């Protein structure tokens, strides 16, 4: 049917003798083909071919779909595995973050403790330096006081009478009879008062009776904690109050300097 329509169309469109032979040849061929395939239904053939093509396409599409499904399944499996890895990594990151925060807090606390220790160390250093300076100042003051006391003692010792008298220039010194230098010796007392104060012996005797006994005088034991200046002041008070001579006072040093 299709070929017949084509043939009629060609005959209607081409009436020229130039194409007559050609058309006749084509018509013959078409007629032959028409006779040959007239027993076949072209529409059925086309439909069959289309169905075959569709089946082929379906088969190919099924393979493609199967491949896509398999690929999707693999992708899904990989996605699940990746999600597990991601969740595990997130959990690990969370733990590490907590540890980092703890370490940061510990470092902050350590920094605070270090600063506190450094501050206390500086305070202790300052306190120690102040104590050292105070000790040095006190030592210098004590040294000056000690030097002053030693000077006072040296002055007193320089005022002591010579305890021996050379017999001659070629003979050494000797210690005289202690009885001569006894502070309570009446002859020495009268001599001291009459020579230094120009008192009458009777007045000197009366004054000497008021002088405190040796046991009432301040004594110097030689210990470090003893107040040297207080010892000297005590003797000066007695000396000034009773108008004693220095010889009488220094004669008593032998008894006053005891341990």
From 155, 253, 243, 238, select the one nearest 197 (Cα to Cα).
243
Judge whether 214 lies within some domain.
yes
Judge whether 124 lies within some domain.
no
Provide the pLDDT for residue 250.
76
Judge whether 119 lies within some domain.
no
Judge whether 220 lies within some domain.
yes
Phi-psi region of 186 (alpha: psi -120 to 50; beta: other; left: phi over 0): alpha
Judge whether 90 lies within some domain.
no
Q: Which domain holds residue 192?
A: 180-256
Judge whether 86 lies within some domain.
no
Provide the pLDDT for residue 10.
56
CB atoms within 10 A of CB 175: 9
Provide the pLDDT for residue 63.
74
| CA–CA gap between residue 37 and residue 42 (Å, rounded) | 8
Helix (H, G, I), strand (E, B) or coil at 257: strand
What single-letter DSSP state applies at residue 163?
Answer: S
The last residue of a domain, from among 16, 51, 69 = 69
Provide the pLDDT for residue 164.
37
The last residue of a domain, from among 17, 49, 69 = 69
Provide the pLDDT for residue 20.
58
The last residue of a domain, from among 43, 69, 95 = 69
Judge whether 13 lies within some domain.
yes
Provide the pLDDT for residue 226.
64
- State the total domains in the chain: 2
Sign of dihedral through CA atoms 52, 53, 57, 60?
positive
Judge whether 218 lies within some domain.
yes
pLDDT in tens, the chain (259 residues): 555 655 565 565 555 554 556 666 667 777 676 666 655 566 666 677 777 777 777 676 677 777 777 777 877 787 888 888 888 888 888 888 888 888 888 888 888 889 988 888 888 888 888 888 887 888 778 777 767 766 766 666 565 444 333 434 444 433 333 333 444 455 545 544 444 444 555 665 666 677 777 777 777 666 666 667 777 787 788 777 777 777 777 777 777 766 4
């Amino acid at each position: 049917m299709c070929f017949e329509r084509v043939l009629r169309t060609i005959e209607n469109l081409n009436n020229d003798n130039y194409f007559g032979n050609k058309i006749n040849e084509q018509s013959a061929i078409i007629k032959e083909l028409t006779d040959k395939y007239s027993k076949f239904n072209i529409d059925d053939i086309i439909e069959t071919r289309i169905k075959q093509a569709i089946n082929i396409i379906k088969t190919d599409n099924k393979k493609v779909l199967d491949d896509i499904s398999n690929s999707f399944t693999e992708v899904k499996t990989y996605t699940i595995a990746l999600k597990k890895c991601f969740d595990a990594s997130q959990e690990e990151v969370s733990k590490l973050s907590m540890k980092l925060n703890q370490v940061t807090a510990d470092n902050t606390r350590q920094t605070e403790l270090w600063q506190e220790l450094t501050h206390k160390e500086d305070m202790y250093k300052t306190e120690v330096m102040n104590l050292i300076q105070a000790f040095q100042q006190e030592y210098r003051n004590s040294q000056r006081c000690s030097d002053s006391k030693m000077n006072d003692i040296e002055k007193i010792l320089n005022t002591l009478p010579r305890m021996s008298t050379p017999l001659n220039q070629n003979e050494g010194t000797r210690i005289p009879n202690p009885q001569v230098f006894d502070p309570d010796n009446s002859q020495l007392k009268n001599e001291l008062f009459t020579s230094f104060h120009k008192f009458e012996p009777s007045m000197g005797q009366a004054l000497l009776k008021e002088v405190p006994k040796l046991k009432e005088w301040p004594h110097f034991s030689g210990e470090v904690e003893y107040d040297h200046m207080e010892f000297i002041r005590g003797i000066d008070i007695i000396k000034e109050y009773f108008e004693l001579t220095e010889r009488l006072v220094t004669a008593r040093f032998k008894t006053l300097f005891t341990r």
